[in-house]
Amino acid sequence: MQIKFKALDYTADDRFIESEYEYSGETETGWKISRNGETYLEVGPGYRLLKTKSCGVCSTDIDRRFLPHPLPQIIGHEVLAESVGNNEKQRYVVEINDTWEARGSVETDAFCREGIPTHSPERKVLGIDRLPGGFGPYLLVPKNAAIPLDGISDKAAVLMEPFAAALQAMLASPPKEGDRVAVLGPRRLGSLVLAALSAYRTSSKTNFHITAITRHDHLITLSKKMGADVAVDLRVTSIDTLKSQFDIVYDTTSTPSGFLSAIEISKRELHLKTTNGQTMGGLQHLTELVVDELSLLPVSESSFQFIWPRETRKNKTIFVFGSMYERWKDKLPTHFKVYHGSPEEAVSILEGKDFEGLVPRFDLVLVESPDQIAKAIRPIPGSESSLVRPRSAILVDSSKESLWEGEAKQTREFFQQGKQIRSSRCGDFHFAIQLLKENPSVVNALEENMISHQYSASDLTTAYSKAKEPSSVKVVVNFP
């Protein structure tokens, strides 16, 4: 099969330029992607060709130039697509991670075998990392990532990717019976978190109270429509009066000030859903923390047993930074294999025989300072590998006050009170579809309130500019 088309590539200087693309190949044998007459990417078997129906503009698209992935590229990953060449068109929503499992390959790696394929270092990401995305008229997607969709409207379907990502926060940090939870910054992603909380509350039959916290009139109105029981206006209510009022705070502000506010008002847990690469609360690499879906927990007897909900594995290895090893070596659970030393020594251990055939990460890492937290998340500049396995935890001993300076003092106090920071990234589309079908009122709320602007594909640059404006909620680009 061969198809040629023109599309707008996004560039590192925040512009779009037109390019000519050609896709040639078959699902069974693989594909060659050419751009302007030169080879752009070659992929093996397991990809199918789809035609784009619509694609939402995400905050990740707006900040795409700041991510550590090559440009130019066709971006866009909130995709509703349809089959190519059939008389009756089948609609698909598309999961964004391109992995061996998504391609249906018999070849795997330790990440796939241990149930975390979306964290495999070999993955590509639709519209973000190499694989051309949904702002082009055609897509090549891993065949298992194309999920047939029936019974849900186009307007709700194009929101499936961000809704599933919002729902992932509930899977990582599920509210308990009687909890008071808050969504800080209920705009694009925050409004979807509210909708996901509402759907989760109904389907799980768990009774908890949902508060939206903002400082904009239109977001107060939107929040109530999307599932908030009440909205707090920070223009008339001081954040100080909300201190430790909410069992879980889902922070979707992506700002350092929002992060500090979330720390202030969390009673038990802060769930970090998005960041913008800046240092927040004296902590670095929080964007990478979210990418790896890591948690920061105050060290305790229970934190040594930490796993994600629905996981059945057990922690077997732990790395302890050398500065604290003597203090901790006799306090660690006896079943752990304990490693210690510098970040460089930790990387060497992970590359050695002890981790052959395994996910090359420690199950847990024990630290005592903001600098060590950063080194546990990204020990090698330019490398996207952490010391700790995805969806696991960095345990924080914050007892040495002198190691925490500036804004990090507020973060230290948070850990001293036994509170924790959790994070999450992409979600399970099958679970998201199930919850939407169980909650038609949430579907109606998505259809009526989330899409603020729609543009044709020929007006992509205008759509992209509109998505940057605070007045927009979700901007969608439609293809003929």
Supply the DSSP string of 173-225, one letter for each residue: SPPPTT-EEEEESTTHHHHHHHHHHHHHHHHHT---EEEEEES-HHHHHHHHH
* Per-residue pLDDT, 197: 97
Task: Decide: residue 309, CB within 10 A, 0-12 exposed, 13-18 middle, 19+ buried.
Answer: exposed
* Per-residue pLDDT, 288: 93
Q: Is 158 helix (H, G, I), strand (E, B) or coil?
A: coil
Residue 397 corresponds to which tokens in the numbers above? 């001993």
- pLDDT tens readout for residues 26-62: 999 999 999 999 999 999 999 999 999 999 999 889 9
Q: Which residues contact 13 (CB under 8 A, 6 or more apart)?
A: 65
Give the β-pairing of 2-10 and 16-26.
antiparallel
**Residue among 71, 51, 65, 62 at smallest CA distance from 130:** 71
Residues of the chain with pLDDT under 70: 86-87
Write down the pTM of the prediction: 0.93
